[in-house]
Amino acid sequence: MGEKLWQKSASELAGLIKSKQTSSREVVEAHLARIDEVNPRLNAITVTLADSARAAADAADRTEPTGPLHGVPFTIKENIDCTGSATTQGLPALAEAMPGLDAPVVARMKSAGAIPLARTNLPEMGLRITTDNPLRGRTLNPWNADRTPGGSSGGEGSALASGMTPIGLGNDIGGSLRNPAFCCGITALKPSRGRIPRASSMLPEDPGLSEQLMAVEGPMAREVKDLRLAYEILSGRDPRDPDSVDVALYGPKAAKKATLVTDLPGIELPQATREAVRKAASVLADAGWEISESQPPELERVHEIWAYHLSMDFQPQLADLSLIMSPAAIRLIELICEQFPPAAVRLADIHAERNRLSRLWTKFFDESPLIVGPTWTDTQFTHDADLDGRAGMEITTNRLRFISPANVLGLPSVAVPTGVHEGLPTGVQVYAERWREDLALDGAEAIETGLGQICPIDPAF
């Protein structure tokens, strides 16, 4: 079949299994073998579900297709409930925390015929933009062992980039889907808040306000077509998430207009980052998109409101978090709270500002249905640079200056690679108005078609 099974997309594997050109068992075994081959170098996979995956694959091979991902393996970040394996949050204290129910996204993947293959790594409580923790250790970037794979869904990013899984599940309150996509050269969809349900059977079942407003679950893959397929599978109301809704997956036809963002207030973008955005825009222009260059409204203020939402939740929890998290990770959270002190603002004013900024961005999207800009504002940093005191805190917050609008305003965004510069992936984000994931996916797919995929790869070390 030319390519090895572990090199193929989830959509391709589903087609091969459906047409009986291969079996689900063969696909599962190919990925388990790939995990055995490369995971000792990368530490992206934390636990393999080999026995249950093999049994599910054999069952799939005995039946007719039950859904669009029948017999296809997938991986799950270790802060998403998957029965039969612990929801550890990267914490020794939760090493044996077994969920009673699958998260809605896991249940929907299973209903689509997909098979849980393994769990993937994350930082403690998902609260860094790199991936390391005292329970599972550090995950490496397959492109460069010295550079971060991103976080907090960094295990998924590294596993996808190296062919250990064809599709995976992560989540995002500050780029945790898009950060690893950029760092590892894959693609990810951060959906509108409420589009894909988010719930856990683990205590506390009811999260803090910032999580309620800004955190989402979403798919990660190597190809946009797989994101689109997962988007259709995962979307829609679930009673366990009272904010989840049924909204049309595809909206009315929109003008093919995209705004290019190559400058951000308060930060100097590297030349390679600007070039990545311009490359993406050139491809869109060739595909018939009208391109203009501008900045969306009040980017600095949007970023501040995002940070204040987080600090308002973090600060009251610091004493409790200190009991289960490492001192260095706690210090990073403390510094963010010092930079954006909750006492400096009123919660009512923060909500009013969020609403005002949402109105401004909605009007902006009326003129330009897509926004194409950087994912991170700088390159993949070296390990633990984010823990280097105030300079480390700024590494985190500054890199997220164009990540945060999607979270605080509830917008969809697709991260997509654009190539390789000096041995590391480059990429962009494609933003659209709330509930218009279809437009963001269209733009990302056009960029991918013009520039190609860059994964999977063998680890460069």
pLDDT digits (tens, 9 = 90+) for 351-362: 999 999 999 999
**258 lies in a domain?**
yes
The model's confidence at residue 150, banded by pLDDT at 50, 70 and 90, is very high
As for how many domains the chain has, the answer is 1
| Residue 157 domain flag | yes
Residue whose tokens read 């299973």: 110
Distance (Å) of CA 372 to CA 293, 368, 450: 10, 10, 15
Question: What does the pLDDT look like over 246-267, one tens digit per residue?
Answer: 999 999 999 999 999 999 999 9
Strands 424-432 and 370-374: antiparallel
Position 458 in a domain = no
**Options 9, 24, 85, 152, the catalytic residue:** 152
**What was the pLDDT predicted at 434?**
98
Tell whether the model's pLDDT for residue 307 goes beyond 60. Answer: yes
Does the annotation mark 77 as catalytic?
yes
Q: How many CB atoms lie within 10 A of CB 251?
A: 15
Retrieve residue 174's tokens.
């500050």
* Confidence band, pLDDT 50/70/90 cuts, at residue 205: confident
Find out whether 210 and 430 touch, Cβ atoms under 8 Å: no
First to last CA, the chain: 28
Beta bridge partners of 216: 172
Average pLDDT over residues 267-294: 97
Q: Beta-carbon neighbour count of residue 461 at 10 Å?
A: 12
- State the residue range of the domain holding 95: 5-305+328-451
Q: Is residue 311 part of a domain?
A: no
Asked whether residue 319 is domain-assigned, the answer is no
Round the average pLDDT of the chain to a whole number and report it.
Answer: 97
Q: Which two tokens stand for residue 405?
A: 């609008």
Judge if pTM exceeds 0.95: yes
- Choice between 376 and 205, residue whose per-residue pLDDT is larger: 376
Exposure string (b/e) for 298-330, b if CB count within 10 Å is 16 or more?
bbeebbbbbbbbbbbbbbeeeeebeeebbeebb
* 316-319, Cβ contacts within 8 angstroms, sequence gap of 24 or more: 317/208
Active-site position among 77, 110, 190, 256: 77
310, part of any domain = no
pLDDT digits (tens, 9 = 90+) for 286-302: 999 999 999 999 999 99
Return the CATH number at 17: 3.90.1300.10
**What number of helices (H) and strands (E) belong to the chain?**
15, 11
Distances (CA, A) of 226 to 115, 122, 212, 308, 429: 15, 22, 27, 34, 17
pLDDT of the residue at 80: 98
Integer-rounded Cα radius of gyration of the chain: 20
Residue 42's CB is within 10 A of a number of other CB atoms, namely 24
pLDDT in the model for residue 420 = 98
Q: 176 an active-site residue?
A: yes
| Domain presence at residue 243 | yes
Query: For this structure, is 20 an active site residue?
Result: no
Q: Would you say residue 321 lies in a domain?
A: no
Give φ, ψ of 308 to 5 degrees: -65, -40
245 by DSSP, 3-state: which? coil
Amino acid occupying residue 158 = S
Could you read off the pLDDT of 49-102 as tens digits, one per residue? 999 999 999 999 999 998 999 999 999 999 999 999 999 999 999 999 999 999
Task: Report the candidate in 394, 449, 322, 380 with the shortest Cα–Cα distance to residue 149.
Answer: 380
Set 9, 11, 176, 358: catalytic member: 176
Q: Is 11 helix (H, G, I), strand (E, B) or coil?
A: helix
Strand partners, 92: none
